[in-house]
Structure 1
Amino acid sequence: MIPPKPEARPDQVSLWRYMRLFRKDILSAQPARLYAAWMAEFRTPFFRSYLVNDPDLIRTILRERPRDFPKSNRISEGLRPLLGQSVFLTNGATWERQRRIIDPAFERGRLTHALPAMWDAGQAMVARVKAQTANGTPIEVEEIASHAAADVIFRTLFSIPIEDATAAQVFTEFRAYQRSQPILNLAALLPLPRWMPRFHRKDTKRAAARIRSLITDLTRQRMQAIQNGTAPDDLATRIMTTPDPETGDTFTLEDMVDQVAIFFLAGHETSASALAWALYLCAANPEWQDAIATEAAALHDPSHVKRLTTSRDVFRETLRLYPPVPMMVREATQSETFRKRTIPKSAQMVLSPWHLHRHTRLWSNPDAFDPARWQTEDARQSARDAYLPFSAGRRVCPGAGFAMAEGPLLLSMLLRDVALAPVEGKTPAPVAHLTVRARDGIWLRAHLRDHAATDHANCASG
């Protein structure tokens, strides 16, 4: 099965048209040749950028010399109103300090503490979907995935469900922020001096301010609970009580607000994107959907997540075809020579999981949905060279293990009880703004599987 992808633009377009296409959707703004290129150069009157697909160069940028290629401030500017100085945006000593405090909370051994919260959020999601299957009308699964992912974040971070009043407000405000936040702002296009004010849409700034105010209230309450000795042992408590091993300092209130904002953005928005596309791909490939349901029949405890090999392969393949973060931008701190090209200082180095994961020279049948590939040595080699759903090297996402537990678990819990099918005439069209989403949502038909229908009837009659 070949799932949908955006139609590429012609090779040659004017800068003005490219900017308009890019603002609308960064994926369809790119030419088709990037799926086979090792490197491509883009020139504007303001700066140069280079898209890099060569595995050796990616290794240089992310693993071998990451300090020479820090995150680009140009792209970060658009997210500053919400994320402030979060670990997602910072570089250098500030970033290193933040990671020394954050990383211990996401160590593999501690991840098991989050599984019961994921399980509870999954059960709540299944109940909501079951309630929507009664009349047989199509359901929009991006909304379902967003709700479930937000629930996971609040349960694991602050030990509160999405139904909590403050959590529900953050979720509502974040949806407003998503709608108002453009992929680019002026600071991403022009070489503005540091002293010049950045230009953000008023509704974007207002939504960001409301979210940060709510997060500040939650964080202040947790700090007080820590002082009183009444705080639950969740991610927020662990991060807020972890001292920097070099200085002994812990996060301030403002520090923690920045980090909670990125945990919500990364842990909610990216997880929701991946889960929604996984549900669509399963609906379009019923043999894989049924295989997950069969495997999930033995799923009775959150610790069983390690046994979900089929669901994990489907989720990996989803992340390959629809990486939530389609592009990452680094900046060259000095002149370089890559593939016999002179790369000037301050050039933007674009690493594109979207193109890398579908690269015709690095993957077999790259556009096809084939979870079975993950059991082959060819795919394992391709993954080593060309698979970056969570970045790589020092800046690999600290929540990668969290996401690879959450995604397969929620997918299995839902498909164990609910069967999905595509809605005719509603093939989703992927577009990229904050993450890869569907232009008009992902609409699927859902009905209870036989055992779930029986359980549902028994509960209704009992």
Structure 2
Amino acid sequence: MIQPPKPPSRPDKVSLWRYAQLFRQDILSAQPARLYRAWMAEFRTPFFRSYLINQPELVRRVLKERPDDFPKSTRVNEGLRPLLGNSVFVTNGETWKRQRRIIDPAFEGGRLRETFAAMWDASEAAASRLAPLAGQQVEIEEEMSHAAADVIFRTLFSLPIEHHLARDVFEEFRAYQRSQPILNLAALIPLPRWMPRLFRRDTTRSAARIRSLITQLTQTRAEEIAAGTAPDDLATKIMTTSDPETGACFSTEEMVDQVAIFFLAGHETSASTLAWALYLMALYPEWQELLAEEAQVLDACDFAVMRKLPLSRDVFRETLRLYPPVPMMVRENSCTEEMRERAVKTRSQLVISPWHLHRHTRLWDNPDGFDPARWKTENGKTCQRDAFIPFSAGARVCPGAGFAMIEGPLILSRILRDFHVEAGPVPVPVAHLTVRAKNGIHLTITRRER
């Protein structure tokens, strides 16, 4: 049976210097194979201790039961500061709680129905862009990045990706991706706040350009809100929502921070998962044909159609299991903890790895295999509850999780309704901002007869 590709694992023991080199290149292949079966593993450096935790009870303690005691690690987020500022992705404590009180209402269940038309239009546009490429081998990650960025701009600012500001943000973000290393120096060495972080010049230049473009979009929307002409989209909803405890809305600078993370999280993660989903469909043609047949219901823009795409949803969920777009999350403990009869000192780095948890050999049946039907089995249902966290979990669960679970299956189905995909070279997963393929994902696409 064909197995979906995964990166090679390193030897169990390497020097700190070698580990840092591997980690900077790709955090997935820098990890030893034993982490796929370990409940907990310790990694020591001269500056701090890091613990990877896979045991569901420990993950539940950190993410769900006591999230305030395990804030996000500022160490790992240092590398994203030039772009994300003080967005909800990097803040902790009362600042983070205030941001979520303003943001969360925009992503409530009812809003999904309201944004569906924009997602539908983006899926139609994605299919139209692929049509002239029929019969060719296509780098599908790039095409899915285009599609996911289109969804973000249509739902957030009511702008198609062809709009000049939306296109400029998208193009500049691609430059940012190429320049941004996964590991900033501050992630390994505790630097004083006053010390420069030594970001690459092209990284800071791209981040500044993206923030400048987002500022233009935000200021224009503020003027439209004041004039009573703003469309009823996510940006308007967030910018007009006040904190129920303080009555204050986001300032322009704060809104720029939030839009930056919406674009990073919403575009980058969806693009990654869609590209891997299409590759898996090329690898497993029997599932591809099932999804293509199911997708024949996509004839008119109607939110109710999503109930008719259960197989697409299962395939998208299985893709999130095998290729979680955010492969690792890092927390710190604010007080000494005991984990598996081991004392974990205050401010240790606690790594929760969806990549390893989703493939854990002691939790999942056939952990490395592609099996969308697993979600209807007892093992699949148990693991979905205890060991499946592609959007994190608990208080800090991604506010756009429901959004992604509509967008992803819709675009996947829409593409497979009209096109057949065939696999090219075997892609090697690597992790930078998200889990992508080392040299891209190349698929040959051909038109289907309807």
Q: Using structure 2 for the length normalisation, give the TM-score.
A: 0.99
The answer to whether the 8 A contact 2:279-2:441 is kept is yes
Deviation at 1:132, TM superposition (A): 0.5
The whole-number CA distance in structure 1 between the counterparts of 2:383 and 2:262 is 29
Greater alpha carbon shift after TM alignment, 395-404 vs 109-118: 109-118
The answer to whether the 8 A contact 2:136-2:446 is kept is no
The whole-number CA distance in structure 1 between the counterparts of 2:287 and 2:236 is 39
The whole-number CA distance in structure 2 between the counterparts of 1:122 and 1:381 is 33
The whole-number CA distance in structure 1 between the counterparts of 2:324 and 2:302 is 25
Name the residue aligned to 2:49: 48
The whole-number CA distance in structure 2 between the counterparts of 1:267 and 1:69 is 24
Name the residue aligned to 2:203: 204
Q: How does 1:96-245 map to 2 (within 5 A)?
A: 96-133=97-134, 136-245=135-244
Structural RMSD (CA):
0.7
For 1:432, the aligned partner's letter is A
Deviation at 1:199, TM superposition (A): 1.9
The whole-number CA distance in structure 2 between the counterparts of 1:262 and 1:363 is 32
Name the residue aligned to 1:2: 3
The answer to whether the 8 A contact 1:82-1:211 is kept is yes
The whole-number CA distance in structure 1 between the counterparts of 2:306 and 2:175 is 33
Q: Secondary structure at the match of 2:232?
A: coil
Verify: 1:379 aligned to 2:380, yes or no: yes
Q: Deviations over 1:254-283 (max 9, x none)?
A: 010000000000000000000000000001
The whole-number CA distance in structure 2 between the counterparts of 1:70 and 1:146 is 30
For 1:2, the aligned partner's letter is Q
For 2:231, the aligned partner's letter is P
Name the residue aligned to 1:21: 22
Verify: 1:38 aligned to 2:30, yes or no: no
Name the residue aligned to 1:441: 440
The sequence identity of aligned pairs, in percent, is 68
Q: How does 1:388-407 map to 2 (within 5 A)?
A: 388-407=389-408
The whole-number CA distance in structure 2 between the counterparts of 1:206 and 1:324 is 25
The whole-number CA distance in structure 2 between the counterparts of 1:125 and 1:332 is 44
The answer to whether the 8 A contact 2:297-2:308 is kept is no
The whole-number CA distance in structure 2 between the counterparts of 1:236 and 1:307 is 30
Deviation at 1:249, TM superposition (A): 0.6
For 1:263, the aligned partner's letter is F
The whole-number CA distance in structure 2 between the counterparts of 1:190 and 1:226 is 45
Deviation at 1:191, TM superposition (A): 1.0
Deviation at 1:197, TM superposition (A): 2.5
The whole-number CA distance in structure 2 between the counterparts of 1:194 and 1:209 is 20
The whole-number CA distance in structure 2 between the counterparts of 1:377 and 1:449 is 36
The answer to whether the 8 A contact 1:327-1:351 is kept is yes
The whole-number CA distance in structure 2 between the counterparts of 1:6 and 1:313 is 24
Q: Deviations over 1:101-125 (max 9, x none)?
A: 0000000011111110000000010
Q: Secondary structure at the match of 2:146?
A: helix
Stretches of structure 2 lacking an aligned partner (at least 5 in a row): none
The answer to whether the 8 A contact 2:78-2:186 is kept is yes
Verify: 1:89 aligned to 2:64, yes or no: no
The answer to whether the 8 A contact 1:187-1:199 is kept is no
Deviation at 1:305, TM superposition (A): 1.5
For 1:145, the aligned partner's letter is M
The whole-number CA distance in structure 2 between the counterparts of 1:409 and 1:306 is 11
Stretches of structure 1 lacking an aligned partner (at least 5 in a row): 452-462
How many equivalent pairs are there? 447
Q: How does 1:194-343 map to 2 (within 5 A)?
A: 194-300=193-299, 301-303=301-303, 304-343=305-344
